[in-house]
Every structure is written in structure tokens, then in C-alpha cells.
Amino acid sequence: MNNLKENLDNVRARIAAACSAAGRAPGEVALLAVSKKHTAGKIRDLHALGQRSFGENYVQEALAKQAKLQGLDIEWHFIGPLQSNKTREAAGHFDWVQSADREKIVRRLSAQRPAELPAMNVCIEVNIDREPQKSGVLPEDTAALAHLVQELPRIRLRGLMAIPKMADDVHDPGDSYRRMQQLYGALLEEGIEMDTLSMGMSADLESAIAHGSTMVRVGTDLLGPRPAAGTK
């Protein structure tokens, strides 16, 4: 628990410092704890320290954790690639899907969201660097998908999400974040209502915040190294 508190304090301090450097208020940037491969017990401990939002990449893994954590006021985000045969479970058990990237997925989420639940929050994942191995809609196709999400019932467009190309000798993720910020702004000018730009992780959250991120997704720097397979 002590390490988790120290990690949480450190990440929050980084967010606050990045916001200050960008002339923004710390409250403008939400922290999403990426808990994939971590135990339900560790999620419970971090929740006890005040963290409420958790992101999972695999539907079945998340459902098992949710069953163990019933009764806690956790906001569950699905952030991994979503297959069409998993949309019903995602629609029924998550508060957010941040990885919507095609018409079939958003239509299924809309149709399968239980009527007794609030509208599902949806972010469109953008493949900002056009990497063939990654999910995400291309930048030029984002507006059409955003308009569709706005028109469908039982889901609510919240914004955009991106996982940029990793830094190397020729690529600075800050350039990816700058282009995401421009795309987000262009869609707002087009009349698309959004409030979330989900980008930035442990290594580069400062750059993402400097370019307008409203939600950073932090895993290892918050929860520590992922446990070995089979750990409960």
C-alpha cells in the first residue's frame, strides 16, 4: 500500500507540474489507472487511496476483476482493441469504451447498451501515426465516425483517444500529440461536441498535457510492474 501511495502521489505531482508548465489547472487532467494484468487486490488498494477510474484492455480479465470488486464506486474504462464478439459484454459492464474505431463497433455498442444503464461514454481511437499494426480510425475519417456516434442512442461521444508511435531517433511523440490537438480542435469547430482528449502515458504525459490532453493513462508508474501470469 505504501508503494502505491508514493506512486500515486508522484504521478499526481507530475500531472500538476505539467499543467502548471502549460498554464493549465491540474483539475483539467484526469488520471486513468491502467490496471491490465494487475490483481483485483491491487485495484482495491489503489481505490482506497482515492483513485476511481481504471482502464482494462481485455474484456474477460476485466469481468473477473469486476466480480471481485462489486460494490466499489469504480469507473471502468475499456481501452484495448474491441472485437465485435465482445461488444455485448463491453456494453453491459463498462462506463467508457475509449477504443471505438469503426462503424460496426459503435453500432453494436449502441444496440447492446442495457436500457437501465446510463449512456455509454465513447472515445474514438485515432491512428494518428498511421501505423498498420495498430487499431484506430485514420485522421481524415474521424469526423464521419464522430458524427455517427453523436446520432446513435445509448452512447455518448466524449472525445478522442490516441496511442502515438513510440519515440525514436526520428520521431517525437510530441508531434503526434500536436496533430491530435489540431484534429480535436478542428472537430470542435465543426460543431462536434466533445470534452475529452485521452492521450499520454507514463513516459510522456508531460508532452501530452502540453498539447491539450484531458486524460492520461498510467500503468507501470502507478501500479508497478505487471505480475507474472497466474498471480491472483
Q: Rounded distance, CA 96 to CA 24, Å?
A: 25
Share the mean pLDDT of the chain.
95
Residue 230 located in a structural domain: no
CATH code for position 112: 3.20.20.10
Q: State how many domains the chain has.
A: 1
Cα dihedral sign, 154-34-83-147: positive
pTM of the full structure: 0.94
Residue 228 located in a structural domain: no
145-191: pLDDT as tens digits: 999 999 999 999 999 999 998 777 777 878 999 999 999 999 999 99
Residue 16 located in a structural domain: yes
- Spatial contact of 199 and 162, defined as CB atoms under 8 Å apart: yes
Q: Rounded distance, CA 37 to CA 232, Å?
A: 10
Termini Cα distance of the chain: 16
Q: How would you label 41-59 residue by residue, b for 16+ Cβ within 10 Å and e otherwise?
A: ebbebbbeeebebbbbbeb
76-106: pLDDT as tens digits: 999 999 999 999 999 999 999 999 999 999 9
Residue 191 located in a structural domain: yes
Residue 11 located in a structural domain: yes
Residue 216 located in a structural domain: yes
> Identity (one letter) of the amino acid at 88?
R
Give the pLDDT of residue 34. Answer: 98
Give the pLDDT of residue 26. Answer: 86
**Where is 144: in which H helix or E strand?**
helix 142-151
**Where is 223: in which H helix or E strand?**
helix 220-223
Residue 153 located in a structural domain: yes
Q: Regarding beta strands 75-78 and 53-56, do their DSSP bridges make them parallel or antiparallel, or are they unpaired?
A: parallel
